[in-house]
Structure 1
Amino acid sequence: MNLAPNTPTFTSHSGLTMPQIGLGTYKLNGREGVASMVQAAKVGYREFDSAFNYENEGAVGRAVRQIVDEGIAKRSDIIVASKLPGRRHEHDQALYTVEESLYRMGLEHIDLYLIHWPNPVADKYVGAWRALIQAKENGLIKHIGVCNFAVEHLERLRTETGVLPEVNQIELHPYFPQEELLAYGTDKGIITQAWSPLARMGAMVSEPVITEAAAAHGVTPVQVVLRWHTQRGAMPIPKSSSAQRQRENLDVFGFSLSDEEISAITGLGRVDGRMKGQDPTVYEEF
């Protein structure tokens, strides 16, 4: 994979190699969204995270084609991700939803496809997982994973299908550091991605342990938080349409936080640290 200089990678149990920082594309829609994603590729981003429910798969596909046509990056160097909505967990529905994602994007394949939420009350996620396994076997998608799955959900997939996800994308930030789930992923070779890795900014980046680390390393508080993610073994996917912010978010590999700084930032974690209380053991998202 041809990445921006100094961008390290994570590798899953089945050989999926991902840059340690990707680009969230939620609310990057239409012509402006395409321009933002192309600009991000010029900066050095190679992973673009979308979802069926974001209603921007067309913009993502258009951006990828433009990136390739302009010679910014080869298609083989780009990872395009999308997600299956909860209302499409029935096996056959899941299969044609993957096909619909492909048609929207106008691509020959999707590199990574994820189940967006387990929806344990509806309890159809194992069937949806079997559909993704089949879609992979059919060549529609290259790699498969999940979002917002707890250990109990992951273990059920392993037990009932024999296939563990390569990626688990979860809410993860200093107020909710997810130590147990991150450790599980590391042990099993599952790449842990962090959505809302900056907790949508706010008070977190003003926390003294973060601002003091930023001053010590000559970087911004945002860069400290993103580096905290990558050094702990998580892949943040920050969202930004600003070229300057995109560059800043990716430029975090020229310094390293000390163990003490990482521990202090992790210590900001709270029992009720979820931003919206979306506990995947009970929450339903359709």
Structure 2
Amino acid sequence: MLSAAEQDFVSGHAYVPEHLPGYVSAIFSAEPYLMDDYLCYRGERSIVLVGYPLASRFEEPALQAVLEAAVSRFRPDSVAVTAPSVSMLGESCRTRGSDRYYRLDLSEFPPHRNAEQMVRRASRELHIEDSGRIGEEHTRLIAEFLDSRQPGDEAGQIIQKIPLYLSSMPTARLFSARDRTGRLVAFDVAEFGAAHYAFYQFNIRSRDRHVPGASDLLLHHVIHVAQELQKRYVNLGLGVDEGITHFKTKWGASPFLDYEYCRYSTRRPGILDALLQKP
């Protein structure tokens, strides 16, 4: 659990989505703890350690010390670590991944000309609603998106919990793009609870009602709100793939943090485990 003072400290220094306790708690059903300068989330027999220090520079020995303390305290069966580097975990990782976080510096706005052109094009066909309430249209669009994109089990489970996240976090906002008939074409979810950062959390689009520039128009509105709230940056999330990276850099975002992910088990394999692993 986080005290009120700890919550204020976290929101004052948050710069990656995992620094948003309300988001992570809603998506992963995990309880946040502040351990030194790091956030750790405790789930059912598992922990997620966010290896991005809130107020200090990243150093692997400091992360290693917090990781050992978290494992000793919570005694999980499964451990996941996200950090600029997880090299200290060596070959223990059962699952591993890497990417980079992209950030838009609002002091260096506006975006590239191509992004502005797409905004103008989409605005001729669409209008944006800024409302925190999610409806049946949004849940149907989520189902359609998952069916057409098939993002993988873990990503799919996260996307399915968007309604829970929105309903539990007053600082999360829903931006809906509708055509002239009022039909939902796409929507974004953004988070504005941190002191200096806005977070571009989700972009869900219709496969059948595609309107060129819809995602650009939505992001344009997210950025406008971030500017109104005097945020310094918008964290646009991970690069994910070439197409998503191009979209983010088109808006002027640049990579600002390395991202590595490691999941490993602390449970020693028994005889049955060893037999099952044999060819």
Tell me the TM-score normalised to structure 2 length: 0.34
Larger proportion of strand: 2
Tell me the TM-score normalised to structure 1 length: 0.33
Bigger relative contact order, structure 1 or 2, given CA contacts below 8 A and separation 6+? 2
Larger radius of gyration: 2
